[in-house]
């Protein structure tokens, strides 16, 4: 029995994609190498915040199955690869998961099958990495015997306005016919399809999107640090500049950048540029600024404690919100880790409160969590608002905190300092 779609990698990208396909009536299955993921989905539960238990139940009613057996891939007309693309310990692109997925899919390729890579990577990955493996393992030629394409994911965890279905989808192919098949496939369950000239253009477009954010976040972060030295209210500056209806896109400062995309994707771009003998000097400068923000927050916290006559080594600091973005249970690359480690290096006792995170581990061991926010605020010499979850009432934080450093521009009060 054949199905319309097999999703390889059922994480933050793959599972929402599978849900959208199921909702549109496509017969869909999923493959993952993690037993815990498959077991969770098979029991009717979800491990991804944006996909609910009700979603999983609805998917299963359509016939969706998650499997550890790669044989399920061979049943599909289209295979979409949604595996992680992270960094090596040295900070270089790590395509190990993409290569492994390519070997797995290649061994089960059938004539006329469409294979799409959605994992973010540097320009050339589809044709230089994925294509040779698929052709070598399968013995078939891309663009002739099977179709190969790249379509960058645009998942924004926690975003209820823009989802898989209504976010325009960039598609491409190693040949015009491959691109045509890719566009036809996504057109079955996504509102708007945008055809790129080629796979490199589509790969580069994804990196540009996230590098744009990375560089502009660095700009406002550095501006905020400068405003502090000048005694200027950076948040009022941002408010005023943000009233311009053209030529200005507002970005907000914060304790650093986090998540799987923003801190990682620009490094894929700079790595590829270096291999081509090109230097992205702007990226290097942005990285220096963003990587330095956790340390800047630690310095501001220490100064606030000193202003109260408290030695950081004798203080307890409460971190409020340790996820990388508001209202999601995701701590990947969260700048909260750097803040916690920096405070600990000063001898400070560090605790945290976050309703989305049951355990927060950093270098040197886990941070003690507290479920009782009022008690935690009363106990701490200083609270640092790192993430503005909707559950944090600014008036409550201002009233109950002995002292508060607000890195998100949300709280006002006599005992509050803004980043």
Give catalytic residue positions. Answer: 261
* Dihedral of the alpha carbons of 154, 159, 160, 161, in degrees to the nearest 10: -70
- Residue found by looking up tokens 């969590």 in the block: 369
Q: Are 102 and 133 in contact (CB under 8 A)?
A: yes
What is the Cα–Cα distance from 186 to 169, expressed in whole angstroms?
8
What is residue 112's three-state secondary structure? coil
What is the Cα–Cα distance from 364 to 65, expressed in whole angstroms?
40
What is residue 214's three-state secondary structure? helix
What is the Cα–Cα distance from 324 to 257, expressed in whole angstroms?
7
* Dihedral of the alpha carbons of 108, 172, 86, 160, in degrees to the nearest 10: -110
Cα distances (Å, whole numbers) of residue 35 to 17, 31, 41: 20, 10, 10
**Which class for 106: exposed (0-12), middle (13-18), buried (19 or more C-beta within 10 A)?**
buried
Cα distances (Å, whole numbers) of residue 349 to 256, 331, 345, 382, 404: 21, 21, 10, 11, 16
What is the Cα–Cα distance from 75 to 99, expressed in whole angstroms?
21
State the Cα angle at 239 between 418 and 265, rounded to 5°: 80
């Amino acid at each position: 029995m054949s199905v319309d779609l097999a999703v390889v990698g059922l994480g933050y990208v793959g599972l929402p994609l599978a849900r959208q396909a199921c909702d549109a009536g496509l017969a869909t299955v999923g493959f993952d190498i993690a037993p815990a993921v498959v077991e969770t989905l098979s029991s009717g539960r979800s491990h991804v915040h944006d996909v609910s238990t009700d979603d999983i139940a609805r998917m299963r009613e359509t016939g969706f199955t998650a499997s550890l057996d790669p044989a399920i891939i061979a049943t599909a007309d289209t295979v979409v690869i949604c595996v992680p693309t992270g960094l090596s310990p040295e900070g270089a692109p790590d395509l190990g998961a993409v290569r492994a997925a390519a070997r797995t899919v290649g061994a089960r390729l059938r004539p006329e099958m469409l294979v799409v890579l959605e994992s973010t990577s540097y320009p050339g990955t589809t044709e230089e990495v994925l294509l040779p493996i698929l052709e070598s393992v399968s013995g078939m030629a891309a663009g002739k015997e099977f179709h190969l394409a790249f379509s960058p994911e645009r998942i924004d965890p926690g975003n209820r306005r823009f989802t898989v279905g209504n976010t325009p989808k960039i598609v491409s192919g190693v040949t015009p016919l491959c691109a045509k098949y890719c566009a036809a496939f996504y057109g079955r369950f996504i509102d708007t399809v945008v055809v790129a000239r080629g796979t490199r253009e589509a790969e580069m477009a994804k990196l540009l999107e996230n590098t744009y954010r990375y560089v502009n976040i660095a700009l406002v972060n550095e501006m905020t640090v400068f405003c502090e030295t000048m005694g200027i209210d950076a948040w009022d500056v941002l408010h005023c500049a943000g009233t311009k209806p053209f030529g200005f896109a507002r970005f907000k400062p914060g304790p650093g950048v986090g998540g799987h995309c923003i801190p990682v994707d620009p490094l894929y771009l700079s790595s590829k540029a270096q291999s081509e003998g090109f230097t992205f000097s702007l990226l290097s400068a942005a990285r220096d600024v963003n990587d330095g923000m956790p340390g800047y927050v630690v310095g501001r916290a220490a100064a606030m404690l000193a202003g109260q006559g408290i030695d950081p080594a004798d203080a307890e600091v409460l971190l409020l919100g340790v996820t990388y973005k508001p209202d999601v249970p995701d701590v990947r690359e969260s700048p909260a880790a750097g803040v916690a480690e920096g405070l600990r290096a000063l001898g400070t006792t560090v605790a945290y409160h976050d309703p989305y995170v049951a355990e927060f581990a950093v270098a040197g061991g886990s941070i003690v969590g507290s479920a009782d926010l009022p008690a935690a605020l009363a106990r701490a010499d200083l609270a640092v608002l790192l993430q503005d979850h909707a559950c944090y009432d600014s008036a409550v934080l201002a009233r109950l905190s002995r002292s508060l450093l607000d890195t998100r521009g949300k709280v006002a009060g006599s005992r509050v300092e803004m980043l």
